[in-house]
Amino acid sequence: MKVLLVGGGGREHAIAEAIARSKKDPQLYAAMSKKNPGIARLCKDYLLVKETDPELVGFAVRNGIELAVMGPEAPLAAGIPDLLWDAGIPVVGPRKLAAQIEFDKAWTRNFMKKYSIAGLPQFKVFRKGESGTDEYIKELGDVVIKPAGLTGGKGVRVMGDHFDLEGAATYAKEVLKNDDLVVEERLVGEEFTVQAFVDGKTLAFAPAVQDHKRAYDGDKGPNTGGMGSYNDSKDILPFMEESDYNGAKKIMSDTVQAIKKETGVPYQGILYGQFMATGSGILVIEFNARFGDPEAMNVLPLLNSDFLEICLGIVNRTLDSVNVKFKKKATVCKYAVPEGYPDNPVRDSAVEVGDTGDALLFYSSVYEKDNKIYTTGSRALAVLGMADTIKKAEEKAGAGLSGLKGRLYSRHDIGTEALIRKRIRHMEELRGNS
Ligand code: AMP
Ligand code: GLY
């Protein structure tokens, strides 16, 4: 089966590995903006192209591609899946109308309200150039400011972390010059992610994962795309209750049904729900229309089912007849990122990949030139430990990191007992049962 993968980061390397493991005789093609060595190695052919460039549709047609799998959000926002479907190629990744759930945060909040989807924080949408933000920020008191469009995870600013009341008001006005804006209440709790395969009506859920957005140990420093993530050997994380996971599943199912009603388009692809577990239940932070990066690296290696069979279930809308199963193992994923990331990262700096032991290795934002590997400035390489417990998985990931050489740094606290105990205590305090 000829499959096109769009995207060239760590998430896409994990997808490429899942495709390569399929029993459906996969022949992999990739469209990526730079040569990711991990993906290139698994490919029959690849095209170096911007992931939003319609030229990749021509590449797919010329190569007789039978199925396309979308990695990142940018091609979804650019409507690449629509072009591929129009060219007769089925796509895992929602059409533009359905992908709005990720690339227009104002649309999504209004949509959740219209369809009474649970887990909606207090919010208000302001259109470009509109006034009135000062009053609403004061009314809520504790806010998060979100530009409506895609900002690579870096546009959202949280009060307390990034600014005070006055700073929030100033930032809101700055954003409104160029974009619509959502002002919403700041939620206090622990974040978790649930990812699902979706065929338009049926959802098959992966175990919950927790990402770590802050750059440095102890959740300090600037926000990043995600420094690392972990899951437990069951569906929920140590700080979660069963009802948090079930609530998240219900919200995601309701969302998929409502998207069909609102847009007329079935949601076919991956749905990523990001939730805040709070003292009074779970709330939705955001939806993404793709796997998370790094969260894809946690769940795809756990997949016991054939990834391409699931993909066919998604595009043929027969996911209910596919048995989607995950191994009951814990994983810990840690990114090695360039020194100075995210604000002033060293670019084009050579890295060496040595012995990563029992850890799986994923190439992310690096490129290969003359048999050497270089950083681009974004998250470079990831290692994944898998074991029966989070503790053992963390040890494997930590050992894996020591095999990576170059001007890189990582967070060493992700998946450690100390940090997990802190998360559990935090939730106990919020739930009032400490
Ligand atoms: P997003 O791009 O929507 O994922 O937001 C980036 C990060 O901002 C999230 O991962 C959260 O850590 C934080 N965030 C977003 N919305 C809220 C909220 N309503 N309350 C608290 N933190 C939030
Ligand atoms: N790791 C967060 C995301 O992929 O959006």
Same domain, 354 and 392: yes
Bin 166: left if φ > 0, else alpha if -120 < ψ < 50, else beta: alpha
Same domain, 267 and 405: yes
The number of folded domains in the chain is: 3
Same domain, 158 and 199: no
Q: State which of 145, 168, 185 marks the end of a domain.
A: 185
Q: Choose one of 282, 286, 430 to mutate for the ligand 1 pocket test, by most ligand atoms within 8 angstroms of C-beta.
A: 286
Residue 26 belongs to domain spanning: 2-93
Same domain, 15 and 87: yes
CA-290 nearest atom, ligand 2? 4
Q: Tell whether 306 is covered by a domain.
A: yes
Count the Cβ atoms, other than its own, within 10 Å of residue 217.
16
Whole-number pLDDT of residue 166: 87
Q: Tell whether 406 is covered by a domain.
A: yes
Q: Is the pLDDT of residue 259 over 70?
A: yes
For 12-32, what is each residue's pLDDT tens digit? 999 999 999 999 999 999 999
Same domain, 68 and 176: no
150 confidence band (pLDDT: 50, 70, 90): confident
Same domain, 74 and 49: yes
- How many Å lie between the centroid of ligand 1 and the Cα of residue 317? 32
- Residue 295 Cβ < 6 Å to ligand 2: yes
- Residue 58 Cβ < 6 Å to ligand 1: no
Summarize the confidence of residues 245-253 as an average pLDDT.
98
Kindly report the protein residue whose alpha carbon is nearest to atom 5 of ligand 2.
292
Show the tokens assigned to 123.
């919010």
- The residues, ordered by sequence, that sit 6+ positions from 37 with a Cβ below 8 Å of its Cβ are 363, 366, 367, 368, 373
For 224-236, what is each residue's pLDDT tens digit? 999 999 999 999 9
Same domain, 266 and 392: yes
pTM equals 0.97
Whole-number pLDDT of residue 288: 97
- Residue 259 Cβ < 6 Å to ligand 1: no
154 confidence band (pLDDT: 50, 70, 90): low
For 322-373, what is each residue's pLDDT tens digit? 999 999 999 999 999 999 999 999 999 999 999 999 999 999 999 999 999 9
Top pLDDT among 66 and 163 is at: 66
Q: Choose one of 154, 223, 288 to mutate for the ligand 2 pocket test, by most ligand atoms within 8 angstroms of C-beta.
A: 288
Q: State which of 185, 213, 237 marks the end of a domain.
A: 185
Same domain, 311 and 203: yes
For 91-147, what is each residue's pLDDT tens digit? 999 999 999 999 999 999 999 999 999 999 999 999 998 999 999 999 999 999 999
- Alpha carbon distance 217, 327 (integer Å): 29
Show the tokens assigned to 323.
């048995």
Q: Is the pLDDT of residue 180 over 70?
A: yes
Q: Tell whether 319 is covered by a domain.
A: yes
- The residues, ordered by sequence, that sit 6+ positions from 218 with a Cβ below 8 Å of its Cβ are 413
Q: Tell whether 263 is covered by a domain.
A: yes
Q: Tell whether 10 is covered by a domain.
A: yes
Whole-number pLDDT of residue 153: 60
Q: Tell whether 112 is covered by a domain.
A: no
Q: Choose one of 124, 137, 156 to mutate for the ligand 1 pocket test, by most ligand atoms within 8 angstroms of C-beta.
A: 156
Q: Tell whether 104 is covered by a domain.
A: no
Same domain, 215 and 155: no
- Residue 274 Cβ < 6 Å to ligand 1: yes
CATH number at residue 169: 3.30.1490.20
CA-146 nearest atom, ligand 1? 3
Same domain, 84 and 181: no
For 288-320, what is each residue's pLDDT tens digit? 999 999 999 999 999 999 999 999 999 999 999
For 373-423, what is each residue's pLDDT tens digit? 999 999 999 999 999 999 999 999 999 999 999 999 999 999 999 999 999
Whole-number pLDDT of residue 152: 67
CATH number at residue 63: 3.40.50.20
Show the tokens assigned to 64.
């007789």
SS (H, E, C) the chain: CEEEEECCCHHHHHHHHHHHCCCCCCEEEEEECCCCHHHHCCCCEEEECCCCCCHHHHHHHHCCCCEEEECCCHHHHCCHHHHHHHCCCCEECCCHHHHHHHHCHHHHHHHHHHCCCCCCCCEEEECCCCCCHHHHHHHHCCEEEEECCCCCCCCCEEECCCECHHHHHHHHHHHHCCCCEEEEECCCCEEEEEEEEECCCCEEECCCEEECCEEECCCEEEECCCCEEEECCCCCCCCCCHHHHHHHHHHHHHHHHHHHHHHCCCCCEEEEEEEEEECCEEEEEEEECCCCCCHHHHHHHHECCCHHHHHHHHHHCCHHHCCCCECCCEEEEEEEEECCCCCCCCCCCEEEECCCCCCEEEECCEEEECCEEEECCCCCEEEEEEECCHHHHHHHHHHHHCCEECCEECCCCCCCHHHHHHHHHHHHHHHCCC
Same domain, 173 and 285: no
Q: Tell whether 434 is covered by a domain.
A: no
Same domain, 278 and 308: yes
Q: State which of 168, 185, 202 marks the end of a domain.
A: 185
